[in-house]
Amino acid sequence: MFDEIDFGRIDLEEAPPLEEPARQFYFIAKCREWVKDFEEKHGRLPKACVTTFGCQMNARDSEKLSGILRDIGYEMTEDERADFVIFNTCTVRDNANQRVYGRLGELNGYKRRNPGMKIALCGCMMQEPEVIEKLKKSYPFVDLVFGTHNIYKFAELLCRSFESQGMLIDIWKETDKIVEDLPVERKYPFKSGINIMFGCDNFCSYCIVPYVRGRERSREPEDILREIRRLVADGVVEVMLLGQNVNSYGKTLDKPVAFAELLRQVEGIEGLKRIRFMTSHPKDLSPELIQVMKESEKICRHLHLPLQSGSTEILRRMNRRYTREQYLELVQKIRGEIPDIAITTDIIVGFPGETPEDLEQTIDMVRRVKYDNAFTFIYSKRTGTPAAAMEDQVPEAQMKEGFDRLLKVVQETAREQAAKLQGRVMEALIEEVNENDPSLVTGRLFDNRIVHVPGDASLVGKLMPVSLEECHGFYYMGRIYKGDVLC
Ligand code: SAH
Ligand code: SF4
Ligand code: F3S
């Protein structure tokens, strides 16, 4: 496993190795010396907190940051009044950025009370030059700043920051490197995200991700399978394969492998019970993928298929490369083959040039597809993207009004869809004790829906049959099913 490395045996008198990940193990060992000094001086271990903004990919990156901090010897906490705090940032919409700036102000207050505290920032927002300028000017109390391409060098950067004064900034424009086998601290012992690819080449005209995450790179299937086998041996029953566009997985490999084929191989891993993946770009969803999903016993009956807009003209301006008709046809094909599949989506309201008629088309699409859930966003102008330079930006009040109208329809449809399961017995992976009511545990169904059932912590991580008794819109109240019928 990852944590079998004996850091005590790494010779720090030697120069750091050049190859990865050995180089990072060397710096972890070096940081451990610093932790030892801290413990001697303060009579306790230093505490570290990793705060994540943004998507599943960032969440997985944060598990890597936590794994490194744990191996360095930090005690991990969720309290930001820690000795080391790192924000793993997102910049997909402006409100994500504003939240980071707001929270940084709070951290400054904590640092005044604990001058030894170190503050670090990483992630997508750091790949934007204007953010770095703003940090230098207005947030000089930040100690370490790095981006998405050199996150694997976290231990090395932390070590350098211990040895230097002032703000240490290291941002790379690109990388073609994928570093395997760094330590990871998983949030859940029984489920895990797995990166199967990094970056994005689609350049949807509103989206900043290709600029901050770089070009699309796929991991070798053997590396992915090896990681999953290790996870399963460590108690994981559910994996989520992660990428900005998993349907184009494998195209850039020396020996190309289709996503459907990767799924087939993952399915073969003994002991693994459930497979999820996200995100699927409609333009690249292959008939083979539908077939593999249909035949699979492990791939969950859930597809996140971002629509973005129901108007062909807006889709063209968004550079999505499918039409309204093509999307509908795809959904019909999927539902025809896999009738019990839940389909969820992302929709943007207020893209430049969007007219009330365009929005009607989107609303009509929601009614036709009958999404099980949809994440709706107000368009946010991102500097450097083609859409930011488009002339006909939609006024804010119009966007807000459109958003509210859309949301109502989305909620109605999702409610109708959810109600269909009432009275059924389905298998749920119990994920946690309910935060608000500790007499309940919360589980996730095969189709990604949530169910709360009476139970205790001993059920967490187990797959249990549950009867779905009361539908409350997005979630069910249910009971562990004691019979032996599963449907
Ligand atoms: N790779 C995924 C999405 C990643 S970003 C895909 O292609 O589907 C997650 C969602 O954020 C997108 O689906 C989109 O709906 C939304 N989004 C991206 N850029 C946005 C912007 N500039 N304004 C508002 N929403 C945006
Ligand atoms: Fe952004 Fe489009 Fe890439 Fe998704 S596919 S990350 S929306 S550019
Ligand atoms: Fe945000 Fe970066 Fe994900 S911009 S949505 S954290 S890839």
Q: What is the pLDDT of residues 116-151, one digit of tens each?
A: 999 999 999 999 999 999 999 999 999 999 999 999
pLDDT computed for residue 482 by the predictor: 84
Q: Tell me the pTM.
A: 0.95
pLDDT computed for residue 485 by the predictor: 52
Mutate to test the pocket of ligand 1, among 204, 242, 377, 385 (most ligand atoms within 8 A of CB): 377
pLDDT computed for residue 243 by the predictor: 97
Asked if residue 58 lies in contact with residue 124, where contact means CB atoms within 8 angstroms, the answer is yes
CA of 64 to the centre of ligand 1 (A): 24
pLDDT computed for residue 7 by the predictor: 92
CA of 364 to the centre of ligand 1 (A): 20
Whole-number Å distance between alpha carbons of 295 and 297: 7
Q: Return all residues near 404 (Cβ < 8 A) that are at least 6 apart.
A: none
Q: Which ligand is nearest to the CA of 303?
A: 1
69-82 exposure pattern, b = at least 16 Cβ within 10 A, e = fewer: bbbbbbeeeeeebb
> Which tens digits make up the pLDDT trace of 260-270?
999 999 999 99
Nearest-CA neighbor of 317 among 202, 204, 201, 200?
Answer: 204
CA of 121 to the centre of ligand 1 (A): 22
Q: Residue 351's Cα: distance from chain center in Å?
A: 24
pLDDT computed for residue 484 by the predictor: 61
DSSP string, 98-120: HHHHHHHHHHHHHHHH-TT-EEE
Mutate to test the pocket of ligand 2, among 56, 148, 197, 200 (most ligand atoms within 8 A of CB): 200
pLDDT computed for residue 177 by the predictor: 87
pLDDT computed for residue 348 by the predictor: 98
88 has which bridge partners? 52, 122
Residues of the chain with pLDDT below 70 are 1-3, 484-487
CA of 237 to the centre of ligand 1 (A): 29
Which stretches within 114-173 are classed as H helix? 129-138, 154-163
Residue 320 in contact with ligand 1 by CB distance below 6 A = no
